[in-house]
Amino acid sequence: MVKFKGYEFVEGGVCAAEGFTAGGVIAGIKAGNTTKRDLAMISCTERCKTAALFTSNKVKGAPIIVSREHLKDGYAQAVIVNSGNANTCNPDGVEIAEKMCELCAQALNIDSDDVLVGSTGVIGQKLNIKPIKIKIPTLAKSLSKDGSGDACEAIMTTDTRKKELAVEFELDGKKCRLGGISKGSGMINPNMCTMLAFITTDVCINGELLQKALRKVNSLTYNMVSVDGDTSTNDTLILMSSGLAGNNEIICEDKNYEIFENALYAVMMNLARETARDGEGATKLVECMVNGAPDENTAKVVAKSVISSSLVKAALFAADANWGRILCAIGYADADFDINAVSVELASAKGKLTVCADGAGIAFSEDSAKEILSEDEIKILVDLHSGEGSAIAWGCDLTFEYVKINAEYRT
């Protein structure tokens, strides 16, 4: 994890903030699978100011349609999520998503309009409400401050590891917390959205600023991740604020707002990195840092272009310093800059090596390059030498296992 001064990592994940509990159970949503948790719930003692971002895909899962409607007043109190079935492209999808909210609300004794819903898994298969209906009462009773891990497990599909994190910091002399859980391994190429991520905080903050912070930080974190170039139909990012920390409400973009925004970045950036690290079949986390761009947007476009290139990803899997593929990806990025000024370096825990300068290759040791690229965390350092803009994007290598996982996804 990347640490930040003034923010201490703490246990608890999505339950770290005051007022929140969570849990996850085995409902048997996946046919024949009775060993993996597949139904999660997050709840708060308070109606929370809530911000959210959803997929930009024209094909949208039914849960997104329902959650958007429930969020029109800017408040929510619980989230119900299933894995194993995306509840997308189904004639009764909205009805099923609404029913999940109703069942969750009944179990928690809250208003169903204050429940948000998420689903992930296979697209185009009907979601059976029966196992969900049977297990929701048990799930509601199991909610606890220690339930983040169970909830995190329950939202996973092809993920190989849990993604949960929380930080503690101070506002107005009050201890505040912000934490979350996230899932995502394949069909990852966010665009003003994310995979599935649920973040909670006890900071008291104005609803409009909550949404503004989420949108900005998302543009720097989840939106800068790509595993395979596919934007999911169900991408959902939700941020809930209980306001129980006791700080003075943040109502303007002052120092306290900056501290809050940085806390959100600390959590979301680390969760985003872990999403890239856990890409389907991946063996390496790839971080592309672009400096010297004419502006930030240019840097973002170039960084995303590099980590999204299948040819670059395949070369990195083989620890092959094929810098020409990197320069090619930089060159077809939809941005204006002087390609003849570009330099590229490869780096890891084994060292750093320049492979391209002034838009052309230079002599370097292939053995040293192989050693650098054989690490499980690699940096591609790009300098456009055209300004002060910078950005970071995260991806992974492309392996044989990725093809196997997705070739057999339904079977």
Q: Give the residue numbers annotated as catalytic, written as ranges.
A: 194
Burial letters 48-83, b for 16+ CB under 10 A, else e: bbbbbbbbebeebbbbbbbbeebbeeebbbbbbbbb
410 beta partners: none
Cα separation values, 119 from 198, 233, 242, 341, Å: 12, 10, 24, 46
What distance in Å separates the CA atoms of residue 30 and residue 36, rounded to the nearest whole number?
A: 9
**Helix boundaries (H) for 25-92:** 62-70
Q: What is the dihedral of CA 339, 340, 346, 347, to 10 degrees?
A: -90
Element spanning 285, H or E:
strand 285-293
- 63 three-state secondary structure: helix
Q: What is the dihedral of CA 353, 356, 361, 363, to 10 degrees?
A: -20
Check if the beta carbon of residue 351 is closer than 8 Å to that of residue 368: yes
Q: What is the dihedral of CA 190, 191, 194, 199, to 10 degrees?
A: 140
Residue 249 φ then ψ, to 5°? -55, 130
Q: What does the block give as tokens for 385?
A: 């030498």
Dump strand ranges (E) for 55-161: 75-85, 115-122
Check if the beta carbon of residue 394 is closer than 8 Å to that of residue 307: yes
R_g (Cα) of the chain, nearest Å: 22
